[in-house]
Amino acid sequence: MSLAPDQLAVLGIRPQLLRLQLWHACRQVQRGERSLDFALRHWTGIGNFLAADAEQLAVVIRDLEAICQAGLVEDPDGFVERASAYLQPLLEQADARRVPARHSWYGCFRADLAADGVTTNLHFYNACSPRSPFADPAALRGDLAACITAICRQHPQIAMVRCASWINNLAPFHSLFPDAYRQSLVETDPDGKTGLGWWGQFITKENTLNPERVALLKETGRFQYPRLAGICSLASMDVE
């Protein structure tokens, strides 16, 4: 099992982030939004954190459902405590199997080829922590250009550039792209909250939880930012 640098970085804050995800899942069940099975599969990163296959994930969810049904559906904090204790040894076992991924990162960016064969998917994480990745816009633009240039060397047929992340809500990020990219931004599936594309907004540049965004989620069940996907042609990018 391998993890990319953005995933490795979140390991330190994973316990807090996972507790928040578990709390959110239980609270949404309490509100009658979805079943716990659905919430855990679609609104948390449990499957990713455990690197679980379908069979293992089904067992974990069954056990978490039993914990929740043991009088804790009305007590999200109690559910989090019991669920965290249950998950801890499983997380430790998963961590013991982890090795660094062999992705090529260019500062804050990496790219891979989409299934259509002509689009590159961009991935972003804060390689500058504890500084903001936007503290040096010129360096960030250079990272992006180097990343796209590198993958185009490997796949010269690439014609489109795409990125899906909550960070597309921030002007300093989408200013890296042409107008067509900004105009294309659309919200992705709200029931696809299993990765950092949604949950990354709760992590500050210092790799701590953002208290304001946590409070908003707990008070309203809402994320401050949706995960947005943007796309534009490679020809419209300012890349030599």
Contact 25, 72 (CB under 8 A): no
What mean pLDDT, rounded, does the chain reach?
90
User: Do residues 130 and 227 both lie within one domain?
Assistant: yes
Buried b (16+ CB within 10 A) or exposed e, 12-30: ebbeebbbbbbbbbbbbbb
Among 82, 100, 118, identify where a domain stops.
Answer: 100
- What is the C-alpha separation between 31 and 218, in angstroms, rounded? 12
User: Do residues 113 and 96 both lie within one domain?
Assistant: no
- What is the C-alpha separation between 46 and 59, in angstroms, rounded? 12
User: Do residues 115 and 207 both lie within one domain?
Assistant: yes
Q: State both tokens at 158.
A: 């690439």
- What is the C-alpha separation between 22 and 38, in angstroms, rounded? 12
Among 55, 81, 100, identify where a domain stops.
Answer: 100
- What is the C-alpha separation between 153 and 165, in angstroms, rounded? 25
User: Do residues 54 and 173 both lie within one domain?
Assistant: no
What is this structure's pTM? 0.91
**Mean pLDDT in residue range 38-58:** 92
The single-letter DSSP state of residue 135 is S
pLDDT tens per residue across span 58-97: 999 999 999 988 766 778 999 999 999 999 999 888 887 7
Q: How far apart are the first and last CA of the chain?
A: 35
pLDDT tens per residue across span 2-46: 344 455 455 678 889 999 999 999 999 888 888 999 999 999 999
**Mean pLDDT in residue range 217-237:** 96
Grade residue 100 by pLDDT with cuts at 50, 70 and 90.
Answer: low
Q: How many CA atoms lie within 13 A of 221 on its CB side?
A: 14
Among 100, 124, 143, identify where a domain stops.
Answer: 100
Number of domains forming the structure of the chain: 2
Q: State both tokens at 186.
A: 């659309």
Please provide residue 156's backbone torsions phi and psi, each rounded to the nearest 5 degrees.
-65, -10
For residue 210, the Cα-to-chain-centroid distance in whole angstroms is 15
76: containing domain: 2-100
- Percent of the chain whose pLDDT exceeds 90: 72
Q: Domain holding 150: CATH number?
A: 3.40.630
**Mean pLDDT in residue range 210-235:** 96
- What is the C-alpha separation between 1 and 114, in angstroms, rounded? 21
User: Do residues 192 and 116 both lie within one domain?
Assistant: yes
